[in-house]
């Protein structure tokens, strides 16, 4: 089984690409807490790249830097060529309806 459930904060505003005339693909990273480092006395964070498919026009407005979201998806690997070398990138792929807002956001976000 290939299933991922994450909760984290958007590290930047997503990049959106038209998927069709009603939906978008969004690419972004989320910062997830992975525990406390007692030696360094600091919170440990990992940054996870997400590719989300089927984002509606109305939902785009709520995906902003700092927003806490939950993501359900699967791990996927993409391959591409850069400078003649094959490069592999691992990302979490989320599909329509698998992203939820966890925080209420600021009032100005909903306008």
DSSP 60: H
pLDDT tens across 38-67, in order? 888 889 999 999 999 999 998 999 999 999
In CATH, the architecture of 4-102 is Beta Barrel (2.40)
- CA–CA dist 94, 97 (Å, integer): 8
- CA–CA dist 39, 6 (Å, integer): 26
pTM: 0.84
Please tell me the least confidently modeled range out of 2-16, 35-49, 95-109.
Answer: 95-109
Tokens of 18: 């038209």
- CA–CA dist 33, 12 (Å, integer): 17
pLDDT averaged over the chain?
90
Phi-psi region of 49 (alpha: psi -120 to 50; beta: other; left: phi over 0): beta
In the chain, what are the domain boundaries? 4-102
């Amino acid at each position: 089984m290939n299933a991922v459930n994450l909760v984290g904060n958007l590290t930047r505003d997503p990049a959106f690409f038209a998927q069709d005339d009603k939906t978008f693909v969004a690419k972004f990273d989320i910062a997830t807490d992975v525990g406390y480092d007692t030696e360094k006395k600091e919170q440990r964070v990992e940054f996870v790249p997400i590719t989300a498919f089927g984002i509606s026009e109305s939902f785009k407005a709520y995906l902003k830097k700092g927003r806490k979201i939950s993501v359900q998806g699967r791990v996927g690997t993409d391959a591409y060529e850069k400078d003649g070398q094959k490069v592999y990138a691992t990302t979490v792929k989320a599909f329509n309806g698998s992203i939820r807002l966890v925080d209420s956001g600021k009032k100005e976000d909903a306008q």
